[in-house]
Structure formats: C-alpha cells, structure tokens
C-alpha cells in the first residue's frame, strides 16, 4: 500500500504568491487548500510585471499565504511531511523570496525541503487533477510559457518544441493593447472575436512552413499592428466591426498554428507509446474556447483524449508545486539548505535553450 503524504507547496516565481496543501500518493492526490494572492493591480500601471515590485510583494505575502493554506486545510506545520517550493525558473527576486521562506520553515520545523521546477508543476498537474498515466503530451500556453512537453515521469520530460519569441498570452495582451481593449487581453480579444469574421484578415501562420513543433507569435503581432495602422489611416479610427474582424482573424491564426503543431507533437507521442494518446493543456490561454475547440478537433482526428485542468489549477498556484513535490518526495528526492534559486532551469536539459523569454521573465 502506498503511504499517503501531506505536502505544503509554495509558489512565487512570477506575479502570484501562492501556498497550498496537497495530500495523497502519486497519481492519487487531492488538494486540501489552495491560496493565491495575485499582484495584477500592483503591476497594471507599468504595462507588465516589474520584477522588484513582484519580489517585494511576495516577501510581504508569503507567510500570510502559508498560514491561510494550513488553516484552510485544518492543519499545523507539524502535520505536513515536507515543504515543496518553486526554486526556478522565474523572476529571480520572487523565486528567492519563496526559497528563503521555505528554508526558514524547514529549518524551524525540521520538515524536509524539496525544490520544484515551476514548469514541472504545470506539467504534472494532470496527474493531480485526473490521475493521468505516463506518458502524455502537455501543451503549456500562458503569458509566460509556450511549449510542448512529452511527460514520461515526474523527472522525465522531453521538450518537443516551444516559442522562439513571445508566449501566446503576450500576443493576446499586445493585440488587445493595439485595439484599446482592456487587459488581460486574452478574454477581451476572445469576446470581441465572437462578432468577427475570422476570414476577412488573413494573418500569417508563423513557422508552419518549417518542420518540428517550434512556434512564433511576434510576427503575427506585427501583422495585426500593420492592419490596424492601415485601417486608422483610411478611417481615422478603428470601426467596431473592423476591430472584431481583426480579433477573430488573429485568434484563428493562433488556433491554426497551435492545432498543426499539436498534430505533429501527437505524432511523436504515437511513436512513443502503444497506449492511449492524451493531450493536456495548461496556462491562462487554455481558457480560450475557440483554441480549445481547435485542439479538441485535432485530438478527435487522432483518437487522442483531450484534457484541461480547472482554470484555477491551469494558472500559477501552490497546489501544482505541492503535488510535484509529492512525486519527488515519494521517489526519495530531498533538498537541504544548500537549495538555490534558479532564474533559468529547462525541464529538458538535452534540448537547446529557447530564445524567447516572455514578458514575465526567462523561463527555460
């Protein structure tokens, strides 16, 4: 019988301070509590995440989030088996704040410390939410991440491809800014696109002409800028219908690119396994219904299962870190006070570094 483990997870690599408690065994765990303190308002006036502001806000909120997470789980620190913390990759000030907090808690309580890769947290979430069996394909799409990962085990990841410039969430946010729509841009562009014609403006589908699963979104952003400027030059502003058509055209281009790259990534997974094929998505962009439909269609074509964790566990949170820590702890992996914070930490050490870094800092 597998022992049930109780793990406290701490996350502070970007602009969410989070703590959570997860209990169970690998592939069979549940979230006892999950507390997330966002920083959107603090960064809003600057149009992006300001690393120093983020680090300071994490330092102020971390202990409160940990106290709340333990309270909501009805536990004391003495009741947990180990403390897991994001030790990279991410904005270094934030990661350091979390690592120092976890080291202090570990030293004070005598509980073991486990450093977790933030991307592993995202990539293992389907194991927490659906008990997903290895191997599976994970597509991470957010404001800071964009990559296809073949997940074979809690420490066995192959990156099949990723963005060579911006993350898709950044592109959604930029397009919204160009069209004077509110931030975060993803939901605004999606809503606006509902009344638009996706075929009126045929935006480029970057990198489809090249083999492999790498992606690019910055050229698409520039194409939207050019179209907008042309419309403004002709009309002195952007008519409502034109704005909707641009949003629909942009969203369709992102959908086509993600769909084709997913098709290729599923072909790699098919070569890997005789078992069922599964695609899991995570990240804020995975909330987009039209992108989900595009991915679902590719999965149906390929007899693959499509799954997306609930949004609260798709975006940055402490439960995914606690769960990834649980898998490491169950495998006998431990860290100590020599644990360091790492701004860069690719999950797949054998793949070349990605060129793009995303607005929220270098990821891998």
Encoded one letter per residue, x for contact with ligand KG4 by CB under 6 A and - for no contact, window 7-26 reads: -------x------------
What number of other Cβ atoms are within 10 A of residue 265's Cβ?
23
**Contacting positions for Zn ion (CB under 5 A):** 316
Please select the residue that binds ligand KG4; options are 39, 106, 216, 288, rule is CB under 6 A.
Answer: 288
C-alpha 124/C-alpha 127 separation (Å) is 5
Single residue of 150, 253, 287, 308 touching ligand KG4 by CB under 6 A: 287
Burial (CB count within 10 angstroms: exposed 0-12, middle 13-18, buried 19+), residue 68: middle
Per CB under 6 A, the list member of 89, 284, 325, 356 interacting with ligand KG4 is: 284
The answer for residues whose C-beta is within 8 angstroms of residue 125's C-beta and 6 or more apart is 280, 282, 309, 313, 314, 320, 323
d(CA 304, CA 107): 46
Q: Is 290 exposed, middle or buried (0-12, 13-18, 19+ CB in 10 A)?
A: middle
**Please, what is the minimum distance in Å from the beta carbon of residue 168 to Zn ion?**
13
Binding residue count for ligand KG4, defined by CB under 6 A: 20
Q: Contact region for ligand KG4 (CB under 6 A) — 24-32, 169-177, 330-338, 339-347?
A: 169-177
**What's the closest the beta carbon of residue 291 comes to Zn ion, in angstroms?**
17
Q: With CB cut-offs between 5 and 8 Å by kind, which of ligand KG4, Zn ion, none does residue 278 bind?
A: none
Relative orientation angle of helices 185-193 and 289-301, to the nearest 10 degrees: 80
Q: Which residue of 17, 39, 129, 315 would you call a contact of ligand KG4, by CB under 6 A?
A: 315
Residue carrying structure tokens 């054998």: 350
User: Parallel, antiparallel, or unpaired: how do β-strands 304-307 and 277-282 relate?
Assistant: parallel
Among 165, 173, 192, 327, contact with ligand KG4 (rule: CB under 6 A): 173
Residue 234 CB, shortest distance to ligand KG4, in Å, is 28
CA–CA–CA angle 288, 289, 292 (5° rounding): 90
**Structure token pair of residue 250:** 């942009």
CA–CA distances in Å: residue 225 to residues 177, 179, 287, 318:
10, 9, 24, 37
Q: Which is nearer to Zn ion, 111 or 127 (CB)?
A: 127
Q: Which does 92 bind (CB under 5 to 8 A by kind): Zn ion, ligand KG4, none?
A: none
Buried b (16+ CB within 10 A) or exposed e, 320-346: bbbbbbbbbbbeeeebeeebebbbebb
Q: Please choose which of Zn ion, ligand KG4, none residue 185 contacts, taking the beta carbon within 5 to 8 angstroms, the exact cut-off set by kind.
A: ligand KG4
CB of 80 to ligand KG4, least distance (A): 26
Pair 36, 319: CB distance under 8 Å = no
Answer with the entry of Zn ion, ligand KG4, none that 285 interacts with (C-beta below 5 to 8 A by kind).
ligand KG4
How many angstroms separate the CA atoms of 151 and 130, rounded?
Answer: 15
DSSP strand pairing (156-162 vs 277-282)? unpaired
The entry of Zn ion, ligand KG4, none near residue 317 (CB within 5 to 8 angstroms by kind) is none
Judged by CB, which is closer to Zn ion: 169, or 249?
169
Which of 186, 196, 318, 346 contacts ligand KG4 by CB under 6 A? 186
Choice from 165, 190, 192, 335 touching ligand KG4 (CB under 6 A)? 190
* Residues at the site binding ligand KG4, with contacts judged by CB under 6 A: 14, 142-144, 169, 172-173, 184-187, 190, 283-285, 287-288, 315-316, 360
């Amino acid at each position: 019988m597998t022992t049930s483990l109780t793990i406290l997870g701490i996350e502070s690599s970007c602009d969410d301070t989070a703590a959570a408690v997860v209990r169970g065994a690998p592939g069979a765990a549940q979230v006892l509590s999950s507390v997330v303190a966002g920083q959107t308002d603090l960064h809003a006036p600057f149009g992006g995440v300001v690393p120093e502001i983020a680090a300071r806000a994490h330092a102020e909120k971390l202990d409160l989030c940990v106290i709340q997470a333990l309270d909501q789980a009805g536990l004391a620190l003495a009741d947990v088996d180990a403390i897991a913390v994001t030790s990279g990759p991410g904005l270094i000030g934030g990661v350091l704040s979390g690592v120092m907090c976890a080291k202090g808690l570990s030293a004070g309580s005598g509980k073991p410390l486990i450093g977790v890769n933030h991307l592993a947290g995202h990539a293992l979430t389907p194991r927490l939410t659906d008990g997903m069996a290895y191997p599976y394909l994970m597509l991470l799409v957010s404001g800071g991440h964009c990559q296809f990962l073949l997940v074979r085990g809690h420490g066995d990841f192959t990156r099949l491809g990723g963005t060579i410039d911006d993350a898709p969430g950044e592109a959604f946010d930029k397009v919204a800014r160009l069209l004077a729509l509110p931030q975060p841009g993803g939901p605004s562009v999606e809503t606006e696109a509902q009344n638009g014609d996706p075929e009126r403006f045929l935006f480029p589908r970057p990198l489809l002409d090249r083999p492999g699963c790498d992606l690019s979104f910055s050229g698409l952003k520039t194409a939207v800028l050019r179209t907008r400027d042309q419309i403004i030059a002709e009309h002195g502003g952007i008519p409502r219908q034109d704005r909707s058509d641009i949003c629909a055209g942009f969203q369709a281009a992102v959908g086509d690119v993600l769909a084709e790259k997913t098709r290729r990534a599923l072909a790699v997974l098919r070569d890997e396994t005789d078992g069922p094929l599964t695609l899991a998505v995570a990240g804020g962009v995975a909330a987009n219904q039209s992108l989900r439909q595009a991915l679902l269609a590719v999965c149906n074509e390929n007899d693959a299962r499509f799954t997306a964790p609930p949004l609260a566990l798709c975006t940055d949170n402490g439960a995914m870190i606690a769960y990834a820590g649980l898998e490491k702890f169950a495998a006998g992996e431990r860290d100590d006070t020599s644990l360091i914070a790492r701004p860069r930490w690719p999950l797949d050490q054998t793949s070349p570094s990605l060129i793009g870094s995303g607005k929220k800092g270098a990821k891998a």
